[in-house]
Amino acid sequence: MERWALGATRELDTFSGLEVFVVRGVVNDRSETRTRWDWVRLPIDARFNATAGAIGARGWSKAERQRRVTERAV
C-alpha cells in the first residue's frame, strides 16, 4: 500500500506489466482520472506517470510477470 501526498508525481515501472488499485483519493494518469475503487491493468512496457489529486491518494500497485504473446490464438 502506498500513500501519495497532495500533488505527488510518480512514474511506476511497467516492464513486466502493472496493476494499480486506487483505495482513497484521486490519481491523474495522463488524460484519465482514477478515483476511489478504480483499478487499471497495464501491459508490458506501458507508461504509468501519475499525479495525486487535491487530497492525495492511497493505492496498491503490483508489478506482475506477464508473458509476451508471440502467436495469435486460433
Neighbours of 34 (CB within 10 A): 20
d(CA 62, CA 11): 13
What's the structural domain count of the chain?
1
Asked whether residue 56 is domain-assigned, the answer is yes
Q: In order along the chain (74 residues), what is the average pLDDT of each group of 10 residues? A: 94 85 94 93 87 94 68 56
Domain hosting residue 44, numbered range: 2-63
Task: Tell me whether residue 52 is in a domain.
Answer: yes
Say what the pLDDT of residue 68 is.
58
Q: What is the CATH number of the domain that holds 30?
A: 2.60.120.10
At 43 the pLDDT is 87
Strand blocks (E) in 1-74? 2-4, 9-12, 18-29, 32-35, 39-42, 48-63
Q: Identify the burial level of 20 via C-beta atoms within 10 angstroms of its C-beta, where 0-12 means exposed, 13-18 middle and 19 or more buried.
A: buried
